[in-house]
């Protein structure tokens, strides 16, 4: 395993992070425990979850993943071996069953305390805002939704001040963003500097061979401001495994069960790009998943790559990607495809 450090902290984390959002829906508790056992045995010490998991978010499955992790901590006593990240859900129709109060002081307090109970731990190492309260271009929205621009943006000062109180209590150690934009990221960084408040250490955004929009502005912020990218959907919800090519709908696959999850990655341009990357992988003796993950692993602005799997065979392949080093020639060929078909998935 290779390791990095969460920026401006002393937290040493594996470059591969174990994603958990299927536990409690596609995976049962025993399977979730098996994945955590295997990950830790293979030196993956960084786990990421969220209060709204498992997905799709429903009242029935709210908090299910955190409960599974908490039961594993209780059973194994491995809490001190894991750097644990979780998130407070953003507001909106998708999460109205959780709360409708956004990132208010009361909402943050409720979310943190309830997550700690479910996780059966006294602290969360990295606590993240799952998505902004204002309208932004994420989750398949390619362009800025300017029609929402008059809506008041987050109260960055109040949010940071509230999170600071929980850091002082020892309930969370560090804080991060998710699905954030250059403007929002800089607002948080500037507010923390101006008022001597806790600094956002990470940004968890989507990134993959067919969705490299992070490079438009966020990658420079990551490198110049030292705020690390935690990549989610590096396989584009499984599309970059090749299993959905040519209209295939594998039994039990996330895209088969919940087609909305992969719709953004199933554009005609995306399928064309995936076919080209598949050819490149085969030419170099790699699977498409290995090529896709290895490319993300070597990016200079990536702090950790969040992989997720429903099957143990997938988990083993994904973790093993850390041992694959792509040559300059392969990276050049990847970028040639990217030049021809840039960011086909929004």
Tokens of 147: 């029609």
Catalytic residue among 3, 38, 53, 188: 53
Is residue 201 in some structural domain? yes
* Domain CATH for 116: 3.20.20.100
Would you call 270 helix, strand, or coil by DSSP? Answer: helix
More confident residue, 154 or 180: 180
Is residue 156 in some structural domain? yes
120 is in which domain, residue-wise? Answer: 3-236+296-316
pLDDT digits (tens, 9 = 90+) for 82-131: 999 999 999 889 999 999 888 999 999 999 999 999 999 999 999 999 99
Whether the predicted pLDDT of 154 surpasses 90: no
Whether the predicted pLDDT of 332 surpasses 90: yes
Interhelix angle 182-195/156-169, rounded to 10 degrees, is: 60
Residue 101: phi and psi, rounded to 5, are -105, 10
Is residue 96 in some structural domain? yes
pLDDT for residue 252: 85
For every residue of 272-316, DSSP letters joined together read HHHHHHHHHHHHTT--HHHHHHHHHHT-TTEEEEEE--SSHHHHH
Whether the predicted pLDDT of 293 surpasses 90: yes
Active site residue 53: yes
To the question of pTM greater than 0.85 for the whole model, the response is: yes
Is residue 270 in some structural domain? no
Mean model confidence pLDDT for the chain: 96
Q: How many independent structural domains does the chain possess?
A: 1
pLDDT digits (tens, 9 = 90+) for 180-228: 999 999 999 999 999 999 999 999 999 999 999 999 999 999 999 999 9
Whether the predicted pLDDT of 150 surpasses 70: no
Is residue 288 in some structural domain? no
pLDDT digits (tens, 9 = 90+) for 45-66: 999 999 999 999 999 999 999 9
For the chain, give the percent of residues with pLDDT over 70.
99
Inter-CA distances, 84 with 33, 80, 81, 129, 183, Å: 15, 10, 9, 15, 27
Instruction: Strands of the chain (E only): list them.
Output: 3-5, 12-14, 16-19, 46-48, 83-88, 124-129, 172-178, 200-206, 228-232, 302-307
Tokens of 91: 């507001």
CA dihedral 247, 253, 254, 260 (to 10 degrees): 20
Tokens of 175: 């804080």
Is residue 168 in some structural domain? yes
Is residue 81 in some structural domain? yes
Is residue 325 in some structural domain? no
pLDDT for residue 346: 92
């Amino acid at each position: 395993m290779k390791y990095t450090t969460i920026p401006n902290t002393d937290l040493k984390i594996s470059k591969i992070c174990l994603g958990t959002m299927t536990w409690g829906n596609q995976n049962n508790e025993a399977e979730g425990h098996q994945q955590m056992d295997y990950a830790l045995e293979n030196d993956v010490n960084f786990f990421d979850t969220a209060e709204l998991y498992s997905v799709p978010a429903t009242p029935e499955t709210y908090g299910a993943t955190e409960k599974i992790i908490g039961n594993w901590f209780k059973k194994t006593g491995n809490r001190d071996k894991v750097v644990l990240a979780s998130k407070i859900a953003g507001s909106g129709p998708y999460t109205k069953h959780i709360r409708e109060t956004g990132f208010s002081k009361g909402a943050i307090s409720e979310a943190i305390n309830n997550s700690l109970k479910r996780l059966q731990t006294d602290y969360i190492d990295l606590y993240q805002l799952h998505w902004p309260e204002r309208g932004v271009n994420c989750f398949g929205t390619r362009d800025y939704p300017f029609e929402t621009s008059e809506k008041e943006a987050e109260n960055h000062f109040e949010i940071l001040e509230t999170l600071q109180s929980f850091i002082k209590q020892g309930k969370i150690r560090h804080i991060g963003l998710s699905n954030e934009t250059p403007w929002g990221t800089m607002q948080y960084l500037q507010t923390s500097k101006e008022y001597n408040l806790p600094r956002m250490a990470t940004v968890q955004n989507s990134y993959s061979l067919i969705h490299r929009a992070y490079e438009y502005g966020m990658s420079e912020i990551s490198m110049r401001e030292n705020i690390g990218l935690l990549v989610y959907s590096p396989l584009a919800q499984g599309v970059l495994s090749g299993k959905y090519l040519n209209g295939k709908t594998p039994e039990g696959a996330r895209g088969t069960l919940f087609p909305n999850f992969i719709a953004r990655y199933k554009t005609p341009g995306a399928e064309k790009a995936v076919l080209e990357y598949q050819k490149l992988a085969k030419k170099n003796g790699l699977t498409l998943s290995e090529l896709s993950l290895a490319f993300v692993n070597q990016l200079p602005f990536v702090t950790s790559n969040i992989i997720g799997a429903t099957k143990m065979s997938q988990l083993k392949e994904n973790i093993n990607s850390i041992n694959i080093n792509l040559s300059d020639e392969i990276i050049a060929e990847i970028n040639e495809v990217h030049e021809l078909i840039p960011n086909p998935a929004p």
